[in-house]
Amino acid sequence: MCYLKFEECIIQKRVKLMRILLKFRSENDFGYDSINKHTIQGFIYSILNDTPFENCHDSKGFKYFTFSNIFPVSPFKRGEFKNIIISSPKQGFIRTVSKVLKRKDHFYLGKYRMKINQVKVFQPKLEGRLITSTPIVLFENNENNRYYSLKNSNEFSFFLERTKENALKKYNSYYGENYYFEGNIFDRFEYGREVAVRVKKEDKMFIVIGTLWKNLEKFNMDNKKFYRFIMDCGLGEKNSLGFGMVNPVG
């Protein structure tokens, strides 16, 4: 659902896609694992309070945003800088988050206070090659909450088919189109590794399985609009929980 005026919605879909780089420093010392994906997601939703996107958390369907891990990956030390990237095909979403953050001098990740150093909006250049920043997550069986595992199933064809199916579903839902193409979503793949990510919510621990890829390459991007969309929306499922973020490789 679009919460902007009709004219603004049309404009947001025509402009180049953008991301936010948030640079900050902790005011405390604590372990890196003290912050997980639900913590970061909660922080993003808190930014949206009292904005046109405040109902994003409760809306059904795709949320159309994702985010990176906090980097560098190391324990939080008082005064040391950390970074996170927030990405979305929604121009209004990016502008809103950026505007709110620029008005603040600090924010909280859970109980930990962070001092904002820089809020930078930038446009990544679309290339023929992508690399995963966070794991791509796919459900093998949604009803049983069973995740696809290349290590266990060794069914690469499932990864190809489900990744394409999910990307097209999100793309068509966002643009109101019925776009489809023959063939694979990527032509060349270089597998990295499979990971099991611990996600804590309301004192309950969940394990999410995903895959990391060193190279996801498309030789001829006939529809750059589609690949720009998945670059900023994320691949696979659970994007709004920080999974499936990809970056271009020059």
Query: Which residues are known catalytic residues?
Result: 45, 57
Identify any residues that bridge with 188 across adjacent strands, giving them in sequence order.
217
The token duo for 143 is: 């009803």
Q: How many beta carbons lie within 10 A of that of residue 200, not counting itself? A: 14
Q: Which position has the token pair 């966002």?
A: 174
Amino acid in the structure at residue 213: W
In a 3-state reduction of DSSP, which class is residue 25? Answer: strand
Tell the burial category of 70 from Cβ atoms under 10 Å away from its Cβ (0-12, 13-18, 19+): buried
The three-point CA angle 195-197-198 to 5° equals: 150
Identify any residues that bridge with 30 across adjacent strands, giving them in sequence order.
76
